[in-house]
C-alpha cells in the first residue's frame, strides 16, 4: 500500500515539475540577452513624458513618478508615450480623545487617488489606463502648525507610494502585460 502511495506522490511531483517547466515568469524590469521577447521595460519607461498637473499633491506624485521613470534623467526629446495624470485627495479624522471635555481628533488619514492614461504619442492610441489609491495616517497633536506639517508629511508619503504603484502599472503595460 505504501509503495502505491509513494508512486502516486512521485507521479504528481513529476507532473507538477513538467507543468512548471513551461512557465515564463521573470522579473518585470530584468533583461535576458539573446532571449526573444524578453526585452526590458526600462527604455520604454524612460521614453514617457508626464503631462503637467495643477495641485501640490499631484505635483508630488508627478515628481516622484518622473524620477522613477527616468532615474533623474532629462525629459525625452521625442517621447514615445505621453502620460496624463489626475490625483484626488481626501483627509479624514479618526481616533477621538477627550481633552477638556471636548472630543478632538487625535489621528487622521490622507488618501490619494491617482487616475492615469498612457498614450502612444505617434498614434494617440491608449496603451494603459488605471486607477490606484493609497492612504497614509498621521497624528493630530494639539498645535495647529504641527497638524499641518504632519498632514503634509503624510501626503508626501502617500505620493511616493502612489507613484510607485502607477509606475508598476505602466511598466506592466509597456512590457506587454496589458492594460
Q: Tens digit of pLDDT for each residue in 86-123?
A: 999 999 987 666 555 565 667 899 999 999 999 999 99
- Nearest C-alpha neighbor of 134 from the set 89, 173, 179: 89
Residue boundaries of the structural domains of the chain: 39-177
Q: How far apart are CA 122 and CA 172, in angstroms?
A: 20
**What is the 8-class DSSP label of residue 37?**
T
Q: In this predicted model, which residue has the larger pLDDT, 94 or 55?
A: 55
The three-class DSSP label of residue 108 is strand
- Burial degree of 72 (CB within 10 A; 0-12, 13-18, 19+): exposed
Q: What is the pLDDT of residues 75-87, one digit of tens each?
A: 888 899 999 999 9
> What is the pTM for the complete model shown?
0.73
Q: What average pLDDT does this structure show over 121-130?
A: 92
CB 108 within 8 Å of CB 91:
yes
Q: How far apart are CA 65 and CA 33, in angstroms?
A: 27
Q: DSSP letters along 43-67, please?
A: HHHHTEEEPP-SSHHHHHHHHHHHH
The CATH number of the domain covering residues in 39-177: 3.30.160.150
Mean model confidence pLDDT for the chain: 81
Confidence class of residue 27 from pLDDT cuts 50, 70 and 90?
Answer: low
Amino acid at each position: 500500500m505504501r509503495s502505491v502511495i509513494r508512486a502516486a506522490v512521485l507521479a504528481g511531483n513529476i507532473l507538477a515539475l513538467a507543468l512548471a517547466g513551461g512557465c515564463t515568469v521573470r522579473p518585470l524590469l530584468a533583461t535576458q540577452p539573446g532571449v526573444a521577447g524578453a526585452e526590458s521595460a526600462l527604455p520604454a519607461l524612460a521614453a514617457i513624458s508626464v503631462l503637467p498637473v495643477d495641485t501640490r499633491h499631484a505635483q508630488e506624485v508627478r515628481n516622484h513618478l518622473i524620477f522613477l521613470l527616468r532615474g533623474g534623467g532629462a525629459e525625452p526629446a521625442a517621447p514615445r508615450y505621453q502620460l496624463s495624470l489626475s490625483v484626488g485627495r481626501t483627509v479624514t479624522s479618526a481616533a477621538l480623545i477627550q481633552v477638556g471635555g471636548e472630543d478632538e481628533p487625535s489621528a487622521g488619514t490622507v488618501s490619494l487617488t491617482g487616475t492615469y492614461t498612457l498614450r502612444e504619442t505617434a498614434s494617440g492610441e491608449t496603451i494603459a489606463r488605471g486607477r490606484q489609491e493609497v492612504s497614509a495616517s498621521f497624528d493630530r497633536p494639539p498645535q495647529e502648525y504641527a497638524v499641518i506639517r504632519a498632514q503634509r508629511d503624510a501626503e508626501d508619503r502617500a505620493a511616493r507610494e502612489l507613484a510607485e504603484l502607477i509606475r508598476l502599472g505602466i511598466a506592466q503595460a509597456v512590457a506587454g502585460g496589458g492594460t
